[in-house]
Structure 1
Amino acid sequence: MLRLYDSRLSGNSWKIRILLSQLGLPYERVTLDIGKGDTHEPDFRAISRFERVPVLMLEDGRPVVESGAILLYLAQGTPYLPDDGYLRAEVLSWLFFEQADLQKNIATPRVLHLYGMADDRQQDIARFHAEGYLALEKLDRWLHERTWLVDERYTIADLAASTYVSLAAQGGYAMSRFAGIGAWVTRVQGQPRWVPLIPEAAAASEL
């Protein structure tokens, strides 16, 4: 069985759980506590050369690291990754954009807010926001007349780019500015077998 090493609040790990659910693949989840240094333990360092989650351990014992690589590995031969070479390159371009322009600029302010450090790091947050808003504006423009990022169908490009974007408000971003992004995130989260970041929290909100 596949084994996924992740952490509870990691957006990069969340991407993998969503795709595993949408593919109907069973897996064992091993949730690490980053705050306690679990990713720096020798056993984990042996399977994660960058000492970070997520890591997908294959059934033959080989690890796949980095969320984009794991998504590509799992999506091969499925509707979530086009067979056409050009369209596949388009998907890759969004995976690169998400990691280079969106992920760090959204994730870092979010962590600072979640752990009560935002008041002391306002200059850093402002710097991340300046870059993050530019990236969000580009994404919103692209979605203005499009339903999906690539080929008018849901792919891992949408999955990957939407996770941290959907969490941006937790880092102080004013997401009401981006109507196109808001509608797109709703479409992504309406896909079959999509799962929330923290399933138990979603269940409690429905009670």
Structure 2
Amino acid sequence: MIIVTGGAGFIGSNIVKELNRRGRSDILIVDDLKDGQNYKNLRGLQFIDYQYKDDFLQSIEDDDFDGTDIDAVFHEGACSDTMEYDVNFMMRVNYEYSKSLLHFCLQHRIPFFYASSASTYGSGKHGFREGDECEDALNPYAFSKLAFDRYVRQVMPEAHSQIVGLKYFNVYGPQEHHKGKMASIFYQLYNQINETGKARLFRGWGEINGKP
């Protein structure tokens, strides 16, 4: 079995789609479908079960999967709203939840692939390398992701199974229709062009190199 958290989301559902293409349908999808839109990403996908994210967390804490043959966990579930400023909420959903899942995978030696973020590099003015000199957090979302990256680096030397953190930079493509204001700029511009015949990148402009 393969577990995909955030499996009804943009990236998660595309992972499930690719797994299906490779002949895998023994997939447990973990998500929260309360917004009434992201379930649409599951239409046409093959999976053996769905579990609400909080119920899944309780299941791994109770070790309900003991004895289950799990080939990998793709952890894509998170609050990705960069305009969410409740830091306690962000840390509970993006940090503590991820820690619980990480330790479950380490305990059972399950390969763990998780979504980090390019936001952990802040403005990027210091480059894009792992380490304090290049990393910064400009909002609570970035802080929660960076905190987990640094936690992973602490436990990595003792790990006996694979851990991979993927830094996503402006990812776009099919299945992001439900993301609203958090959809990629490419998707938003595509909708603008379809609706108005043009794309507006900025509200206005000033002088560039001394010329209006």
Normalized against structure 2, the TM-score is what?
0.29
* RCO comparison, higher one (Cα < 8 Å, 6+): 1
> Which of 1 and 2 has greater Rg?
2
Q: Which structure dedicates a bigger proportion of its chain to helix?
A: 1
